[in-house]
């Protein structure tokens, strides 16, 4: 599969965020030129304003708004911080440099812009996301965590110094890190027929050793627990641009189930963002019901696990039959199991026996 | 730089551990054939038997031993577990498969070998390490965590399916994961003159973006906090096989200092192992004294930080002047700082101003 378009995804993304930042600047200048105190309004992120959108299959922000005005003495601090952040982001995008949440906090000090602590600057970064309707990764602010990818696919870089260079994602059998360069790369060519997102590094390596990428023509992604947003964005792109179905494999516990759910439909604290979800992603397991079906070694659910199951039950996204039933099975049997539990039947059992069942499910979805 | 030898590092490693496992098996058979209860003795890992070796510059086990005998009813359980583990490890090595600590725990169940929990199987894996004098990575048992590498170096794989294939470590600017394949690869060719081990992913990416690998001919390693043992083994190999000096860059707090120390001289709980340390590694910073020297933004040390400094002061390895003085500076100023704090002077300051000072130190060491 290959694709053609005039602009790369990264170029389109850069153009979009530059335009948004420019508009933001012009709004402020326009206010000043017409002798008004500049002000900015954007959707409120308070819990009462986070609602579930059935059509989008994710949480979104409601109609409540907040306003930051230079005319209000209480607003001057966050208003200034926000404008500085927009300025700094514009510089990052222009210079094609990436930064981290932590970096932003310290960079502010170079401009005598004060943040009490990183929590405050993180908060403002989220405000800017809401204001622009763009994830911070789009204005080049990345988190620390990285997950990894492996498979039969060639990508083409768009980052400085690597423009046009290609990489075969099967070249390194420990996996390639998913960072700024991977996230903004073009997908050049692949014979893959699916993507498998895997919660744990050990199983990711096992799958590579057992040649799952060849046997099932699968691109493998190690989410390393709850996947960073860059990885969720990459999963969405693999689905939307390459038309690949996305299967998700996690531990059989409420935390694992929620990793699959977040890949499918995001998290409440990203309710202000789009393009980070893959609603058609399929939770392949390990299900609560798989523990019995495959006679897996298991451990009792802890009090915290059980509390978590009840929390998930109150989440509108878990009303769907499969999810609802599996949560009930957790509560009924009060057992959890890990992906590694399949090793009870030998190291290749999970690939030879469990995976074919689940891949059939992915293909029929 | 290139090197020649008849056997690859990975082959030599495999031969060594196979021989050790064979010998272990023969000892048991010999005992049985001469109608004796088979037994195994190895160095005790109790705290009282861990001593600091000045010459090796690391902790080692003393002369205390423990014995597991099939003739002692209390020993039968750990003796059987240990023999099964040796059998299972031999299988892993033979089949060139890797496994994780968690996998081993579950795999035991396939053989009706019982471990109460993973803590117990982890404990036995360490016993086998002591018995063989080999790190578990040598018998293919890896942890979950992975760090990453980037730089101008070509490696040649030895893992199945990739034998003889080469990879350019600058091919992917987010970094290549350090897993079983990287750890066992041969270093084919490099023009690098040093290795920089960096505590954090954000700075690792910054260094790549600022072309530290070209400006200073440096191979960059993201240790992702305290580096996994596979990464410490790789650092040692880069030093001993390629004669590259190793510089270590961490946060200016007692935890960062100890990351550098563990790379140099290991940890007390790996006192039974060799080949995981790089005594000539140089702690480049960020030092406690750098906070003042470079006027870095800083935070007060917490109670826990201060307690940690006192712990380190009682560690024999921290008696050396540099380390001793820096610990005292922590206690005097009671401030800590992070690598990202340099962003206070702009994103490239750390590369343009701080790094040259420190690289001079590395070269003069």
Q: Is the pLDDT reported for residue A1 higher than 70?
A: no
Q: How are beta strands B176-178 and B147-150 bridged, if at all? A: antiparallel
Nearest CB to A179 within list B102, B174, B342: B174
Domain final residue, candidates B92, B109, B142:
B142
With a cut of 50, say whether residue B79 has pLDDT above it. yes
When divided into structural domains, chain A yields a total of: 2
Q: Which of A105-109, B68-72, B350-354 has the lowest mean pLDDT?
A: A105-109
Residue A73 lies in a domain: yes
Has residue A284 got a pLDDT over 70?
yes
Based on the domain organization, do A99 and A137 belong to the same domain?
yes
Q: How confident is the model at residue A2 (pLDDT cuts 50, 70, 90)?
A: very low
Taking each continuous run of H as one helix and of E as one strand, the counts in chain B are: 14, 17
pLDDT in tens, B263-317: 999 888 788 888 889 999 999 999 999 999 999 999 999 999 999 999 999 998 9
Burial A326-361 (b: 16+ CB within 10 A, else e): bbebbeeebbbbbbbbbbbbebbebbeebbeebbee
Q: Active site residue: A29, A87, A106, A157, which one?
A: A106
Kindly state the tokens that stand for A285.
């397991």
Average pLDDT of every residue of chain B: 92
The pLDDT, as a whole number, for residue B285 is: 92
C-alpha angle A240-A242-A243 in degrees, rounded to nearest 5: 65
- Average pLDDT on A67-84 reads 95
> Is B345 annotated in the active site?
no
Domain of residue B136, CATH code:
1.10.10.10
Give the tens place of pLDDT for each residue, B197-210.
Answer: 999 988 999 999 99
Q: Which residue has the tokens 């080692």?
A: B60
- ∠ CA A90-A92-A94, nearest 5°, is 65
Residue A135 and residue A116 share a domain: yes
Given the residues B106, B294, B318, B354, select the one marked as catalytic: B106
pLDDT at A358 over 80: yes
The number of beta carbons lying within 10 Å of the beta carbon of residue A311 is 12
Chain A residues close to B161, C-beta within 8 Å: 173, 211
Q: What predicted TM-score, i.e. pTM, was given to this entire model?
A: 0.88
Query: What SS3 state is found at B214?
Result: helix
The confidence score (pLDDT) of residue B2 equals 45
Same domain, B321 and B174: yes
Whether residues B202 and B286 fall in one domain: yes
Q: What ipTM was reported for this prediction?
A: 0.86
B173 in the same domain as B138: no
Residue for token pair 């903004």: A184
* Residue B248 CB coordination number (10 Å): 28
For chain A, positions 277-306, list CB contacts with chain B under 8 A: 297
**Whether residue A128 is found in the same domain as residue A239:** no
Q: Above 90 in pLDDT, residue A154?
A: yes
Q: Which domain holds residue A263?
A: 147-364
Q: Does A340 contact B at CB distance below 8 Å?
A: yes
Give the Å distances, CA to CA, from A99 to A116, B207, B226, B299.
Answer: 19, 11, 22, 21
Q: Are residues A158 and A114 in the same domain?
A: no
Average pLDDT, stretch A276-287? 94
Residues A152 and A293 in one domain: yes
pLDDT exceeds cutoff 80 at A144: no
User: Does B302 share its domain with B171?
Assistant: yes
B3 lies in some domain: no
Which residues, numbered 167 to 226 in chain A, qualify as contacts with chain B under a Cβ-Cβ cut-off of 8 Å? 167, 171-182, 200-202, 205-206, 209, 211
Average pLDDT over residues B122-131: 94
CA–CA distance, B60 with B322 (Å, rounded to integer) = 23
Is the CB of residue A128 less than 8 Å away from at least one CB of chain B?
no
The domain that contains B256 carries what CATH number?
A: 3.40.1360.10
Average pLDDT, chain A: 92
In-domain check, residue B4: no
Q: Are A43 and A178 contained in the same domain?
A: no
How would residue A5 be classed by pLDDT, with cut points 50, 70 and 90? low
B302-348 tens-digit pLDDT: 999 999 999 999 998 999 999 999 999 999 999 999 998 999 888 88
Say whether both A49 and A113 belong to one domain.
Answer: yes
The C-alpha of B74 sits at a distance from chain A's nearest C-alpha, in angstroms, of 26
Whole-number percent of chain A with pLDDT over 90 = 75
Asked whether residue B60 falls in the same domain as residue B153, the answer is no
The residue from A109, A142, A175 where one domain ends is: A142
The pLDDT tens digits for B233-254 are: 999 999 999 999 999 999 999 9
Task: For residue B206, tell me if it sits in a domain.
Answer: yes
For residue B300, what are the β-bridge partners? B335
- pLDDT by residue (tens digit) across A229-253? 889 999 999 999 999 999 999 999 9
Nearest-angstrom CA–CA distance, B323 and B259: 13
Domain boundary among A87, A114, A142: A142
* Percent of chain B whose predicted confidence (pLDDT) is above 90: 76
Phi, psi of B347 (to 5 degrees): -65, -25
């Amino acid at each position: 599969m290959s694709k053609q378009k005039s602009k790369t995804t990264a170029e389109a993304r850069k153009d979009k965020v530059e335009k948004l930042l420019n508009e933001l600047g012009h709004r402020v200048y326009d206010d000043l030129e017409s002798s008004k105190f500049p002000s900015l309004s954007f959707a409120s992120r308070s819990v009462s304003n986070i609602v579930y959108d059935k059509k989008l299959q994710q949480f979104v922000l409601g109609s409540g708004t907040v306003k930051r005005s230079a005319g209000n003495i209480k607003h001057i601090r966050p208003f200034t911080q926000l404008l500085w952040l927009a300025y700094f982001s514009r510089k990052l995008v222009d210079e094609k440099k990436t930064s981290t949440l932590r970096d932003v906090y310290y960079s502010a000090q170079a401009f005598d812009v004060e943040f009490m602590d990183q929590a405050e600057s993180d908060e403002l970064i989220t405000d800017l996301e809401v204001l622009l309707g763009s994830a911070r990764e789009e204005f080049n602010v990345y988190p620390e965590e990285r997950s990894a990818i492996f498979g039969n696919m060639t990508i083409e870089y768009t980052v400085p110094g690597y423009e046009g260079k290609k990489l075969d994602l099967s070249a390194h059998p420990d996996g390639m890190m998913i960072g700024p360069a991977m996230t903004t790369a073009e997908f050049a060519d692949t014979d893959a027929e699916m993507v498998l997102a895997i919660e744990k590094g050990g199983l990711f390596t096992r799958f590579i050793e057992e040649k799952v990428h060849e046997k099932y023509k699968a691109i493998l992604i190690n989410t390393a627990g709850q996947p960073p947003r860059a990885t969720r964005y990459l999963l969405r792109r693999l689905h939307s641009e390459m038309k690949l179905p996305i299967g998700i494999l996690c531990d059989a516990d409420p935390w694992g189930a929620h990793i699959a759910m977040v890949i499918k439909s995001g998290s409440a604290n990203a309710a202000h963002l789009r393009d980070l979800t893959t609603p058609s992603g399929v939770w392949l397991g390990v299900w609560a019901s798989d523990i019995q079906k495959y006679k897996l070694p298991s451990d009792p659910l802890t009090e915290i696990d059980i509390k978590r199951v009840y929390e998930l039950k109150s989440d509108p996204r878990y009303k769907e039959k499969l999810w609802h039933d599996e949560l009930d099975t957790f509560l009924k049997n009060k057992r959890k199991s890990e992906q590694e539990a399949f090793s009870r039947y030998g190291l290749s059992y999970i690939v030879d026996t469990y995976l074919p069942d689940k891949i059939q499910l992915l293909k029929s979805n």
